[in-house]
Amino acid sequence: MAWIYSNPNPFKRSVSDCAVRALSVAECLPWHDAYFLLCVTGAELGNLPDAKDVFRATLRKRGYKRHTLPDTCPDCYTLNDFCLSCKRGTYIVGVGDHVVAVIDGNYYDTWDSGDEIPLYFYSKEN
């Protein structure tokens, strides 16, 4: 399990586009392609591409299923712990208002978010 620096944003911005970056990494897509997928879904739903319902619908279309994490120890289970328990597969993990791509136990982000508390995750269904 490790943090791997990743910023697929072509202008290396790292604010307000975490959903695009996470989708880009998880789906092995160029940043622009991930952004346009969110835009198309946003247009279909009459909402902006960074809206939560647009992100959820886009992930569902791509074969992801949403899961919540139990609230048994809300301050002691971190993204690092999630990665240790999910060493295989592709996930997009929600930590507060931020989302992170996790692939085979490694998390890809512009900053080391490993101590953040995961609230939910999406797993890629085959």
Rounded average pLDDT per 10-residue block, the chain, 126 residues: 94 92 98 98 96 97 94 83 95 95 97 95 86
pTM over 0.85: yes
What are the helix (H) ranges across the chain?
Answer: 18-27, 31-45, 52-61, 79-85
Based on DSSP, count helices (H) and strands (E) in the chain, helices before strands.
4, 6
Residue with tokens 């999630």: 82
Q: How far, CA to CA in Å, does 69 sit from each of 3, 7, 93, 119? A: 21, 26, 10, 6
Q: Are 55 and 19 in contact (CB under 8 A)?
A: yes
Count the alpha carbons within 13 Å of 18 in the hemisphere toward its beta carbon: 20
